[in-house]
């Protein structure tokens, strides 16, 4: 019995531990994903809907109905009989009077004085004489007295605009809203000055950096893993040690170098400094070390050159590692902000990249956060797509590259 109780306790502890892990992962997932979800749906809202309180996830717009070929906003308007109806507003700021039922004070009507029939009679309410009118409610004549003035609007049924209008104070009506995605936010952002050019520049710079990093990393990784020359390991350690240097330390020397060469304020300065990467060389070197030497020896016996061995044997086998390196390079180049901010002049719209344009957009569209989010989502599409396509290579290749060699 004691052994059975211990087994049950261990089982419960194991289940609780697993449940705790799942709860933590769920909370972490929510914390990570919620901002992206809010940004995505916020990019389809209007500026007015974005500031609506309490906030809503889905984008809403005011519903409209055509009256004589003109779209007018719909409102839920209280009717004199106590019901409500969705009517369009023809006029706002109408001068109205509030009438209260003589026999039933719960009856309240808001309308212009000329919309009712005067009886010529008066009643005393709170020591004051009040004119009495006849109003029709549900086809029944009801005596009401003039209580006080109000400001409201004139509303009609869009299906029958020639019917008698309905009057209501503004505080008693509410707009009719419907879910509608404002896809025009994206076209508006794309038409902003410099956004399209910066997007093109970002694509160009990113592709050149990715191709350059992959090419140089493959060559460097092959040289440090397969070629034998004096001081190879020491040079590799020295090269690898550059990873430990924070990039912020290199900003000023790199800036002075680009200015001295004459590449300042150009796209070239965004590409060349990042074509060579110690991390990429290390990643490819570790992967090449894991490839059996017998494959290379067999190729040498068949008369293959070093160049042919690299591109016809090693490169096809290292596609997963290349995909991993290309993804990291893409994400870094696409999201680069600090270096472009330093090397590209603020007035150079022809040389700007997406990260810089988004920072400017955040200031220009402070009253239109929906446009800012549309720009952010546009900038996120490419890296998210690349990550989803290549993510299956990450764990396998980063782990394998660090275990061998």
pLDDT in tens, 209-222: 999 999 999 999 99
In Å, how far are 61, 107, 159 from 87, measured between CA atoms? 16, 21, 9
- pLDDT computed for residue 396 by the predictor: 60
Q: How far apart are CA 140 and CA 127, in angstroms?
A: 29
In b/e form, how buried is each residue of 288-303, taking b as 16+ CB within 10 angstroms?
A: beebeeeebeebeeee
The DSSP symbol for 320 reads H
Q: How far apart are CA 317 and CA 376, in angstroms?
A: 37
| Pair 185, 371: CB distance under 8 Å | yes
- pLDDT computed for residue 212 by the predictor: 96
Residue bearing the bigger pLDDT, 215 or 168:
215
Does the pLDDT value for residue 62 go beyond 80? yes
Does the pLDDT value for residue 10 go beyond 90? no
- pLDDT computed for residue 75 by the predictor: 92
Report if pTM > 0.85: no
Does the pLDDT value for residue 271 go beyond 90? yes
The DSSP symbol for 191 reads T
Q: What's the distance, CA 300 to chain centroid?
A: 53
Q: What are the residues facing 64 on neighbouring strands?
A: 73
Residue bearing the bigger pLDDT, 294 or 405:
294
Return the number of other C-beta atoms located less than 10 Å from residue 185's C-beta. 25
Does the pLDDT value for residue 403 go beyond 50? no
Mean pLDDT (whole number) for 96-118? 79
- pLDDT computed for residue 398 by the predictor: 52
φ and ψ at 132, to 5 degrees? -105, 135
- pLDDT computed for residue 8 by the predictor: 67
Mean pLDDT (whole number) for 234-246? 87
Does the pLDDT value for residue 393 go beyond 80? no
Provide the token pair at 201. Answer: 């520049």
Q: How far apart are CA 81 and CA 135, in angstroms?
A: 11
- pLDDT computed for residue 222 by the predictor: 92
Provide the token pair at 113. Answer: 């004085």
pLDDT > 90 in the chain, percent: 26
Residue bearing the bigger pLDDT, 395 or 350:
350
3 state DSSP class of 249: helix
3 state DSSP class of 240: helix
Q: Which among 385, 400, 8, 380 has a CA at the least distance from the CA of 199?
A: 380
φ and ψ at 121, to 5 degrees? -100, 160
| Pair 266, 351: CB distance under 8 Å | yes
Rg (C-alpha) for the chain, rounded Å, is 36
Q: How far apart are CA 342 and CA 248, in angstroms?
A: 11
Q: How far apart are CA 143 and CA 100, in angstroms?
A: 8
Contacts of 181 by beta carbon, 8 Å cutoff, 6+ apart? 44, 59
Does the pLDDT value for residue 254 go beyond 60? yes
Residue 304: pLDDT band by 50, 70, 90 thresholds?
Answer: confident
Q: How far apart are CA 355 and CA 328, in angstroms?
A: 17
The DSSP symbol for 163 reads S
131-145, 171-185, 295-309, 347-361: the lowest-pLDDT one: 131-145
- pLDDT computed for residue 306 by the predictor: 87
CATH superfamily of 186-403: MetI-like (1.10.3720.10)
Residue 329: pLDDT band by 50, 70, 90 thresholds?
Answer: very high
Residue in the structure block whose two tokens are 């994903």:
33
Mean pLDDT (whole number) for 125-140? 77
Report the half-sphere exposure of 175 (CA within 13 A, side-chain side).
11
Q: Which of 148-152, 156-160, 361-365 has the highest mean pLDDT?
A: 156-160
Does the pLDDT value for residue 320 go beyond 90? no
| Pair 167, 154: CB distance under 8 Å | yes
33-37, 76-80, 109-113, 252-256: the lowest-pLDDT one: 109-113
Residue 402: pLDDT band by 50, 70, 90 thresholds?
Answer: very low
141-145, 195-199, 374-378: the lowest-pLDDT one: 141-145
pLDDT, the chain, mean? 85
Residue 82: pLDDT band by 50, 70, 90 thresholds?
Answer: confident
Residue 332: pLDDT band by 50, 70, 90 thresholds?
Answer: very high
- pLDDT computed for residue 303 by the predictor: 87
Q: Please provide the DSSP assignment of 136-162 as one string.
A: EETTEEEEEEEEEEEEEEEEEBTTBTT
- pLDDT computed for residue 243 by the predictor: 85
Helix, strand, coil abundance in the chain, percent, nearest 5: 55, 20, 20
Q: How far apart are CA 278 and CA 252, in angstroms?
A: 20
Cis link prior to 54 (omega < 30° from 0)?
yes
Q: Please provide the DSSP assignment of 250-288 as one string.
A: HHHHHHHHHHHHT-TTSTHHHHGGGT--HHHHHHHHHHH
Residue in the structure block whose two tokens are 């005067």:
118
Provide the token pair at 140. Answer: 């029944």
- Write out pLDDT tens, residues 182-202: 999 999 988 887 888 999 999
């Amino acid at each position: 019995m004691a052994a059975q109780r211990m087994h049950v306790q261990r089982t419960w502890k194991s289940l609780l531990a697993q449940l705790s892990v799942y709860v933590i992962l769920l909370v972490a997932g929510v914390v990570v994903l919620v901002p992206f979800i809010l940004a995505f749906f916020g990019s389809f809202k209007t500026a007015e809907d974005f500031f609506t309180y309490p906030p809503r996830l889905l984008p809403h717009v005011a519903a409209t109905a055509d009256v004589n070929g003109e779209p007018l906003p719909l409102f839920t308007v209280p009717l004199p009989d106590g019901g409500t109806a969705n009517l369009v507003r023809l006029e706002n700021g109408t001068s109205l009077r509030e009438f209260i039922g003589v026999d039933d004070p719960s009856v309240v009507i808001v309308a212009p004085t000329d919309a009712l029939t005067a009886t010529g009679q008066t009643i005393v309410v709170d020591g004051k004489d009040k004119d009495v009118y006849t109003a029709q409610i549900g086809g029944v004549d009801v005596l009401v007295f003039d209580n006080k003035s109000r400001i409201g609007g004139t509303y009609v049924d869009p299906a029958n605009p020639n019917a008698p209008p309905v009057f209501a104070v503004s505080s008693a009506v509410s707009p009719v809203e419907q879910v509608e995605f404002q896809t025009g936010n994206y076209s508006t952002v794309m038409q902003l000055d410099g956004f399209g050019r910066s997007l093109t520049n970002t694509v160009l710079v990113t592709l050149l950096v990715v191709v350059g990093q992959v090419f140089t990393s493959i060559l460097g990784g092959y040289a440090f893993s397969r070629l034998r020359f004096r001081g190879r390991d020491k040079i590799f350690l020295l090269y690898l040690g550059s990873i430990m240097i924070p990039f912020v330390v290199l900003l000023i020397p790199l800036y002075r170098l680009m200015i001295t060469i004459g590449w300042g304020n150009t796209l070239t300065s965004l590409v060349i400094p990042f074509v060579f990467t110690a991390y990429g060389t290390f990643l490819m070197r570790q992967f090449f070390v894991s490839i059996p030497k017998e494959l290379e020896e067999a190729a040498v016996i068949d008369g293959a050159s070093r160049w042919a061995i690299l591109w016809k044997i090693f490169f096809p086998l290292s596609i997963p590692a290349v995909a991993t390196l290309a993804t990291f390079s893409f994400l870094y180049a696409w999201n680069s902000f600090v270096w472009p901010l330093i090397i590209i002049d603020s007035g150079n719209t022809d040389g700007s990249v997406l990260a810089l344009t988004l920072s400017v957009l955040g200031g220009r569209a402070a009253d239109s956060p929906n446009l800012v989010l549309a720009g952010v989502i546009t900038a996120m599409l490419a890296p998210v797509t690349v990550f989803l396509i290549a993510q299956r290579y990450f764990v396998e290749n980063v782990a394998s590259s660090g275990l061998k060699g």
